[in-house]
Chains A and B, each alone.
Chain A
Amino acid sequence: MATSEKLVITSNINGEERTFLADSRDSLLEALRERVNLKGVKEGCNNGNCGACAVILNGRLVNSCCVMAAEVEGATIETVEGLATPEGLAPLQQCFLEEAALQCGICTPGFLMSSTALLRENPAPTDDEVRFWLAGNLCRCTGYDKIILAVQAAAEQMRAPKK
């Protein structure tokens, strides 16, 4: 008979050391939502195709539905909850609002994490590069154009010299 195990997992989540209980059968998506209560991580397809569950794990973009919770012992995880600062929204978040790059919003956390990873690696992407990078994120509402505009607007802001 197959069994699971209870695990105690410690990882750095959005800059804070967090210890949480999980089951060895939990995906990282399930653990973040149900055990750590980070509901910004969304479930779309649960099979790697839609990107709604994207988080940054040890500096790399991953789909949390395709990661086991047990794997993240000792890891660093960034979710959409960590993007805003006490000073306000991150440029990407602000630009998604201003450019109306979301409607129902279920895909938005995934797009924000994916775009965050993109702009870290490539602060001045072409539109084609943005589209190629975001190909793993699906949106049923916006038609994508406004998302590309928002990412480019944020990229421009982030490149501007700090006042």
Chain B
Amino acid sequence: MQALRYARATSIDEAVRMLREGGETARVLAGGTDVIVQARERRRVIDLFVDIKHIPDVMGMTYDAQRGLTVGAAVPLYQVYGNADVARVYPALRAATHVIGGKAIQGRASLGGNLGNSSPAADSIPAMMALDGVAAIAGPNGRREVHVDAFCTGPGRNVLQPGEFIVSLHFPQPVAHSGNAWERFIPRNEMDIAVVNAACALTLEGDVVTAARVALGAVAPTTIMVPGAAEALVGRRLTDDTIAAAGAAAKEAATPIEDMRGTVKQRKHLSDVLVQRVVRAAAEHARSR
């Protein structure tokens, strides 16, 4: 591995100071499942790891039926998907975190790391976007909040400024009769990078959709919101035709690349199919609550 130092931060302020002093080549170390491999393969110049896992706010998780869910940025994924409130209220988040890597990855990998790595194929990001997640960020100029749907700016790039890091992720409590779901397509059953992933959160009044958020991954330089799919749903009865229209809008919005994982045609087709599936599953979840 490239020569590098390790520093353990025990408070938010200490982490900000270490990151600022470390400059451009300092990196946050959460679960390390992306960044340690990147350091070893010299895909990034890194000379300081700032370990944030000893900061209480970064490792806590709270849920309350008024305020919703707050997950510390470095909470390992097994704690996210193993949480009963997450499974009941935020199944999209449960589904995504349950299939990121294998068990040995889930013992360490985190939502903050998945977001901080900002891969266009990251599995949890579309789920967090559909749920209208908000990242609480600390930095040299104090605190700020950025919605997850505005966080990533390109492959591996995001809005974080030098010295800034994500403290926690907040998900609002869904209003009554709301549901959410996440799915991905991979050629095997587990342990692979998404060819496409998709998430939906929606609210029903009887049969009519009153609010919807649809997000896609692995079809553009960043994970994307698909406003066209939401527009196809909102104000309409949830019929097969409405759902097909949402799928068609997703297919239209997807601008994928061709690579070893899939062709443009396959990814566009999958965008359609997966969005239809997550809309149906989200509606089912809404009706069950």
Contacts and interface: CB of A to CB of B under 8 A. Distances in A.
B4 A47 contact: no
A68 B32 contact: yes
Interface in A33-76: 46-49, 51, 54, 57, 60-63, 65-68, 70-71, 73
A48 B108 CA distance: 11
A7 B37 CA distance: 21
Majority secondary structure of chain B interface residues (helix, strand, loop or mixed): loop
B191 A66 contact: no
B29 interface: yes
Given A4-B3, A48-B33, A61 B103 contact: yes
A84 interface: no
A107 B21 CA distance: 42
A117 B33 contact: no
B1 interface: yes
A63 B53 CA distance: 17
Nearest to B51: A71
Interface of B: 1-6, 8, 25, 29, 31-33, 36-37, 40-41, 45, 47, 49, 51, 53, 76, 78, 101-105, 107-108, 189-191
Given A2-B25, A62-B104, 16 more contacts: A2-B2, A2-B45, A3-B3, A3-B5, A4-B4, A25-B3, A47-B40, A48-B101, A51-B104, A60-B76, A60-B107, A60-B108, A62-B107, A62-B108, A63-B33, A63-B104
Lowest 8 CB-CB distances: which A-B pairs, in order? A136-B102, A70-B6, A60-B107, A2-B47, A135-B190, A4-B3, A2-B3, A63-B104
